Chains A and B, each alone.
Chain A
Amino acid sequence: MKREDIFSSLSIDKSLANKYDFNPYYCCIESGLNDPILIDGKEFIDLASNNYLGLAADKRVIQAISVAAGKFGASMCGTPIATGSMILLQKLQKRLARFVGFEESIIFPSGYQANCAVFMSLAKQEDLIIIDHYAHASLIQGVRLVGCKVKPFLHNNMKHLRKLLEKAAEYKRVFVVTESVFSTEGSIAPFDEIVKLCEEFNAIPVIDDSHGIGVIGKTGRGILEEKNIKDFNGIYTASLGKALANAGGMISAKSELIEYLKYSCPGLIYSTALPPPVLAGMEAVLNIVKEEFSILSERMWRYKKLISGCLIDSGFILTEGQAPITSISVRNVEECALMAKLIHANNILVTPFIPPSVPPNESKIRMIAGANLSEKTIDKALNIFKKVARELELK
């Protein structure tokens, strides 16, 4: 193949964006995650970010980040096994581990990287990985990299999972991989049942709690707290860039396993560690979560209920979710583009999901209302949704 042909074969079909003269992706936000945010000099209500607790631009977090930058500078210019291993990283790894119920954790530059890297270090070709049909792209990529047999199970379907486990005896090791909160629709995995099935069949449960940490559980400690799972004998991963409002990805497990990964996981060992200001920002967020989770979470849930109620009353169809996420179910990508454009034209930023981010025929528009938004902002958003519904003639 000629080089020109190779490059021209790698183009993106933008016909949908061109047809509606609207592309919601890679928009240029000119402010922090404030209430409101700024896009093209215009004020927008942020219902798109994963800033669940609203702490990304909290003054106390900003202050902690500034102090750490003053003390430690921009970066340690080294991987976690080398100069990246500094006091803030070590402290945070312990603190995050305890937060979710372990002794030790490791922190990667991103959740995506953690998920991609971990399976290569744990699984071998002769193993079986059973994974939820709707698991995040990073988990799918991670398990595919192993080159072992991969069997997806129907989304949150315990009968199907059991059936696959019953047929898994021929494999050396069996992993069962899922997410806690499925973020495009807000469903929560029956992870207590999955853990029980794993015990019955001697399989290793792997949970990605990216949208659960700082969100669910009585004190915000995520899925293990939410489902009252004690002494978890599996692998826990989470992004630190959502409710915890910074960046990075964590992996927790029994201490021996974390020690093993520290010396065997290339995705950790060969990648520059998170910079000190981010680590300090995380620490500050955890301090706030400890003191204020109940207030922040009450607000987050109230906003979700207000938005969901208003959308249903206005004639939108929502997916049934148990997390503080509201997703409008649309018939197809065309309807998704049209609806997202109208909402955007009314200065609300939302997240449209079209395939391959979601299965074909399951396009969605997702909203997360962070606890930093004011009641007045939510009121304004509700009025906008009513107006959009009238324009779309939903009722």
Chain B
Amino acid sequence: MTLEERVLNVIEENLEEKAEFNVNTDLRDELGLDSFAMVIIVNALEDEFNISIEDQHYREIKNAKDIVNALREYCPDLKEA
């Protein structure tokens, strides 16, 4: 699985309801996630990638692409299939 797919999977599994989205979908404005919904996703990402995401980073996250880019930047050791 690519990093992108893994991130999209984590988001999908941690939504209250099924929704259509892709790497560019704005999680707050388009997917309508509130602050707790974002925390749920960030916690799940922390578990999935065994990392710790600081508050200031997660406020900068707008969409899945931002997450993938941040993972590539801060966790260069992550294996990409």
Contacts and interface: CB of A to CB of B under 8 A. Distances in A.
A151 B43 contact: yes
Interface in A149-172: 150-155, 160, 164, 167
Interface residues of B, number: 12
Interface stretch (B2-10, B30-38, B67-75): B30-38
Contacts of A359: 16, 32-34, 37
Contacts, number: 34
A133 B47 contact: no
B40 interface: yes
A133 B37 contact: yes
Given A152-B39, A153-B40, A167 B34 contact: no
A155 B36 CA distance: 11
Contacts of A151: 39-40, 43
A32 interface: no
Given A154-B16, A155-B16, A167 B47 contact: yes
Contacts of B14: 154, 160
A360 B32 contact: yes
A110 to B, nearest CB: 23
A150 B39 contact: yes
A147 interface: no
A357 to B, nearest CB: 11
B44 to A, nearest CB: 9
A153 B14 CA distance: 9
A356 interface: yes
B37 A361 contact: no
Nearest to A167: B47
Contacts of A315: none
Nearest to B19: A361
A132 to B, nearest CB: 9
A362 B34 CA distance: 11
Interface string B23-62: 0000010001110110110010001000000000000000
A151 B34 CA distance: 14
A24 interface: no
A360 B40 contact: no
A359 B47 CA distance: 25
B36 A360 contact: no
A152 B47 contact: no
A266 interface: no
B62 to A, nearest CB: 15
Chain B CB within 10 Å, residue with most, of A140, A167, A361:
A361
B40 A154 contact: yes
Contacts of B47: 167
A99 B39 CA distance: 37
A355 interface: yes
A194 to B, nearest CB: 17
Interface of A: 133, 140, 150-155, 160, 164, 167, 355-356, 359-362
CB-based closest 7 A-B pairs: A360-B32, A361-B32, A152-B36, A359-B34, A133-B36, A152-B40, A151-B43
Given A133-B16, A153-B40, 17 more contacts: A133-B36, A140-B36, A150-B39, A151-B39, A151-B40, A152-B36, A152-B39, A154-B14, A154-B16, A160-B14, A355-B34, A359-B32, A360-B32, A360-B33, A360-B34, A361-B32, A362-B32
